[in-house]
């Protein structure tokens, strides 16, 4: 399958990401023909988790200080509680996410990943979903939160949890294939 041939997709994560929310989309997007890169706050490796248990370590391809959104065709934000919470406290990470919206590029965020969208101030008026505990933050940021498997609004793909990964990946690939488009800041 070469639906994403010639596309370059960033996965933004740090220690404490929900492993399956990175590995399953990574595999599917790579198999669809995209070049995928793991971007993080620091060089070396980052630690995945399986809910509250430590998972595997993953090699970071690039650090935030060495990349820009203009190098990529799309962005994936895995969840896990610690990962997005740490990333939303880092101004470079928040700016990186915001830049995808300013450049009208598709973004896919799952579970707790949408916390970064709140911090980047890009959910105003958008229909989104997430892990239930993130819903209040999204609503307070002006989003229209719904409890659905997968939601797409102007190139922003969101899902609730690992059970939603098949629908999340399918829609993310579709949006990445479509490319630069409707995604706009509020």
Segment 3-45, tens digit of pLDDT: 999 999 999 999 999 999 999 999 999 999 999 999 999 999 9
Stated pTM of the model: 0.96
Residue tagged active-site, from 50, 51, 112, 150: 112
Residue tagged active-site, from 111, 150, 152, 181: 111
- Measure Cα distances from 30 to 25, 98, 167, 171, 173 in Å: 8, 24, 16, 15, 10
- Looking at the DSSP bridge assignments, the partners of residue 109 are 77, 158
- All structural domains of the chain, each given as residue ranges with its CATH number in brackets, are 8-178 (3.40.50.880)
152 in active site: no
**Tens-digit pLDDT profile for residues 70-124:** 999 999 999 999 999 999 999 999 999 999 999 999 999 999 999 999 999 999 9
DSSP string computed for 12-56 = E--TTEEHHHHHHHHHHHHHTT-EEEEEESSSSEEEEEETTEEEE
111 in active site: yes
Helix, strand, or coil (residue 159):
strand
């Amino acid at each position: 399958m070469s639906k994403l041939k010639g596309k370059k997709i960033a996965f933004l994560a740090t220690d404490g990401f929900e492993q399956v929310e990175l590995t399953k989309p990574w595999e599917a997007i790579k198999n669809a023909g995209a070049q995928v890169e793991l971007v993080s706050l620091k060089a070396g490796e980052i630690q995945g988790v399986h809910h509250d248990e430590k998972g595997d370590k993953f090699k970071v391809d690039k650090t935030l200080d060495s990349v820009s959104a203009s190098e990529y065709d799309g962005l994936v934000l895995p969840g896990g509680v610690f990962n997005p919470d740490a990333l939303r406290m880092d101004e470079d990470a928040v700016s990186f996410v915001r830049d995808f919206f300013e450049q009208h590029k598709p973004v896919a965020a799952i579970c707790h990943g949408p916390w970064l969208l709140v911090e980047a101030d890009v959910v105003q008026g958008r229909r989104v979903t997430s892990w239930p505990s993130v819903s209040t933050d999204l609503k307070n940021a002006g989003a229209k939160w719904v409890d659905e498997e997968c939601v797409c609004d102007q190139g922003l793909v969101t899902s609730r949890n690992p059970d939603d990964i098949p629908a999340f990946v399918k829609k993310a690939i579709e949006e990445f294939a479509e490319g630069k488009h409707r995604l706009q800041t509020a």
